[in-house]
Amino acid sequence: MTNVAVIGAGLIGRAWSIVFARAGFHVTLWDQFPQQTTIALTFIADRLPELRAAGLLADEPETVLARIHPVQSLWEAVRDAEYIQENGPERADIKTTVFTDLERAARPDAVIASSSSGIPASAFTEHLRTRHRCLIAHPVNPPYLVPLVEICPAPWTDPAVVTRTRELMVKAGQVPATVKKEIDGFALNRLQGALLAEAFRLLADDVISPADLDALVKHGLGLRWSFMGPLETIDLNAPGGLADYCNRYGPLYAKMQEQMKPLDWDAALVDRLHAARRAELPTNMQLVRQEWRDRRLMALLAHKATQPE
C-alpha cells in the first residue's frame, strides 16, 4: 500500500486526503491545530457518501474513511510516508519553516511536494540539503472533483522525482501536467489570469454586463473546454486545422492583442463587480452555492468517466 502524508488539514489538505484515500492509499493527516483535523474528518465523512452516490467512489465510504489516520505530530505523519503533500498558508516564510521540519522528519527517499498556488519551490527549498526531492504539485480546487495537478520542479529538482510524482498522481486518479520551468502562477493560473484580465477590461469599459460575461464562458467557451483544450478547439474550428485557423484569424487576434493593455484592478472596479455578484448571490447563500457547484462537478466528472477521450 502506498503511504502518503498530508500536512495541513484545511480546505486543500482535506481534499487531498479524499483523493489519496479513494485511490487506496494509506493517509496520515496532521495539522498544527488539532481542531482542524477534526473538522477535516467530519467534512470528509460527509463528502464520501455523496461521491459514492455519484459513482465516483469504488469502495464503501467507511472503507475509504478508515484509510485516513489523524496523527498528533509531524514526525508521526511523515515517518513512513513515501510521498508528502504540504498544504500550509501561501507564504514563503512559513513554507520555508515547514519544509525545513519535513526534511528532518521524513524518510530520505520521500518526495516532498507543496500545494502552492503560485509560490515556486525555489522560494522555500534552496537552503535544504535534500532539495532535489522537493517540487510543486498544485491542485485545482477541489482536487477530488477536478483531477488536474500541475507538477512544477525547482531548478534543482531531480527529474526522477518529477517522474515519481507524475506516476503517483496517475495512480491516485489525477491528471498531471508538468510545467517545465518555474514561472509566476505556473501555467494554469496564467491561463486563468489572461481570461480574468480581459474579463475585467471588458467590464471596466462597460462592453458587457457581469452576468452576460459569465454566460459567455459557462454557456459558450466552457462547454467546449470541459472536454478539449484551446489548441484542439481551434484545430477543429477550421477545415485545414490549426494552421488554417491561424491564417484565417491571426490578424484579428493580433489586433485584439494590441487593444489588451494592462489594467489595474482598482477599488472602484472591484467594488462594482463585487456588488454585482452579491446582487446575484447574497453572502449568506455562498455556502449553498458552493455545495451546488460541487454536485454539478460530480455529475460532470461522472459523465466524463463514461466517455472515451
Dump pLDDT digits (tens) for 206-234: 999 999 999 999 999 999 999 999 999 99
Cell 465523512 sits at which residue?
Answer: 45
Do 125 and 131 meet the contact criterion of CB atoms below 8 Å apart? yes
As a whole number, mean pLDDT of residues 285-299 equals 93
Q: Which is nearest to 21 in space by CA: 72, 54, 60, 55?
A: 60
Q: How much is the average pLDDT of 86-115?
A: 97
What is the pLDDT confidence band of residue 108, given thresholds at 50, 70 and 90? Answer: very high
Superfamily (CATH) of domain 189-305: N-(1-d-carboxylethyl)-l-norvaline Dehydrogenase; domain 2 (1.10.1040.10)
Q: At residue 123, what is the residue type? A: A
Neighbours of 68 (CB within 10 A): 24
- Least Cα distance to 143 among 77, 220, 56, 78 occurs for 56
Of 50, 70, 69, which Cα lies nearest the Cα of 61? Answer: 50
Instruction: Name the amino acid, one letter, at 159.
Output: P
| Per-residue pLDDT reduced to its tens digit, 132-144 | 999 999 999 999 9
Instruction: Decide if pLDDT at 252 tops 90.
Output: yes
Q: Verify cis geometry, omega within 30 degrees of 0, for the bond prior to 142.
A: yes
- Work out the widest C-alpha separation in the chain, in whole angstroms: 61
pLDDT tens across 9-27, in order? Answer: 999 999 999 999 999 999 9
CA distances from 216 to 264, 279, 280 (A): 23, 19, 16
What does the pLDDT read at residue 132?
Answer: 98
The answer to whether residue 309 scores a pLDDT higher than 80 is no
What's this model's pTM, rounded to 2 decimal places?
A: 0.93
Sequence-ordered alpha helix ranges (H) in 156-285 = 159-171, 188-204, 210-216, 222-225, 230-235, 242-259, 267-280
- Asked if pLDDT for residue 80 goes beyond 90, the answer is yes
State residue 307's pLDDT score.
87
What is the gyration radius of the CA atoms in the chain, in angstroms? 21
Annotated domain spans of the chain: 3-178, 189-305
Burial of 234 (0-12, 13-18, 19+ CB in 10 A): middle
What number is the average pLDDT over the span 167-182? 97
Q: Residue 110 has what pLDDT?
A: 98
**Does domain 3-178 bear CATH number 3.40.50.720?**
yes
Mean pLDDT of 98-108: 98
β 83-86/26-30 pair status: unpaired
The pLDDT of 100-104, averaged and rounded, is 98
In 13-39, which positions are buried (b, 16+ CB within 10 angstroms) versus exposed (e)? Answer: bbbbbbbbbbbbbbbbbbbeeeebbee
Q: Which helix (H) or strand (E) holds 18?
A: helix 11-22
Q: Give the pLDDT band (50/70/90) at residue 97.
A: very high
